[in-house]
Amino acid sequence: MAAKPPAQIRVRRHPERGHYDHETVYAILDEATVCHVGFLREGMPVVLPTLHVRVDDRLYLHGAVASGLLKSMAKGVPVCVTVTELDGLVLARSVYNHSLNYRSAVVFGQAYEVTDAEEKLQALRALVEKVQPGRWQDARQPNAVEFRTTRVTALRIESASAKVRSGPPVDDAEDMGLPVWAGVIPIQTVRGAPEADPGLPAGVTVPPYILGRTD
């Protein structure tokens, strides 16, 4: 991510919302649980949602060896990975100026299959720990068949942009006096209370790490 961003990643529409530094891009990638991977499949564009995790300057994805997405990535096709965090609904005085507050990131690159067993295991661990810190040590870890039938691909984060909108609506001067409510409706993703699997053996309780405790 150079000081002057290359044309491919330069945010042209509202350039003031563009960011190219690792800190901003990584923070958005780390907070988002789901990414969307865009690539060409038999000449047609496909965009598929999937789980991701960032480790240093690598973005890791995983899936069944039969997954078309993972197969294509393993072949090294060019991909575009995006993530979006929605922060608010921006209601303006005019319908034209309605907007959304968001943080989004776009990463371009060529993926590769992770074949080194240790890197693959660490990537799987990072994916699980991203979903629920503390889970990897607690749950049964992958056996040889599960490990073999899971494909892990990676993408070096070399070419990436972030776009961030925040704050109130931006209305035209002549609309400012209109008797129309304007403002922001904040949007948050909130974890709910754990719902136990009905098949749990008696006595298995919610572990502290799921409740956000360290005891």
Binding site for ligand FAD (CB under 6 A): 8-13, 84, 86, 100, 102, 104-106, 161-163
Kindly state the smallest distance separating residue 179's Cβ from ligand FAD, in Å: 26
**Shortest reach from residue 63's CB to ligand FAD, in Å:** 24
| 74 within 8 A of 151, measured Cβ to Cβ | yes
Contact of 148 with 61, CB cutoff 8 Å: no
Q: Which is nearer to ligand FAD, 29 or 128 (CB)?
A: 29
Smallest gap from Cβ 135 to ligand FAD, in A, equals: 29
CB nearer ligand FAD, residue 72 or residue 104: 104
Q: Which residue's CB is nearer to ligand FAD, number 72 or number 99?
A: 99
Question: Minimum CB separation from ligand FAD for residue 32, in Å?
Answer: 11
- Our CB check for ligand FAD shows the closer of 130 and 163 to be 163
Smallest distance from the beta carbon of 34 to ligand FAD, in angstroms? 13
- The single residue listed with the structure tokens 């693959």 is 120
Of 8 and 132, nearer to ligand FAD (C-beta) is: 8
CA distances from 132 to 5, 52, 82, 208 (A): 34, 13, 22, 12
Q: How far apart are CA 38 and CA 20, in angstroms?
A: 20
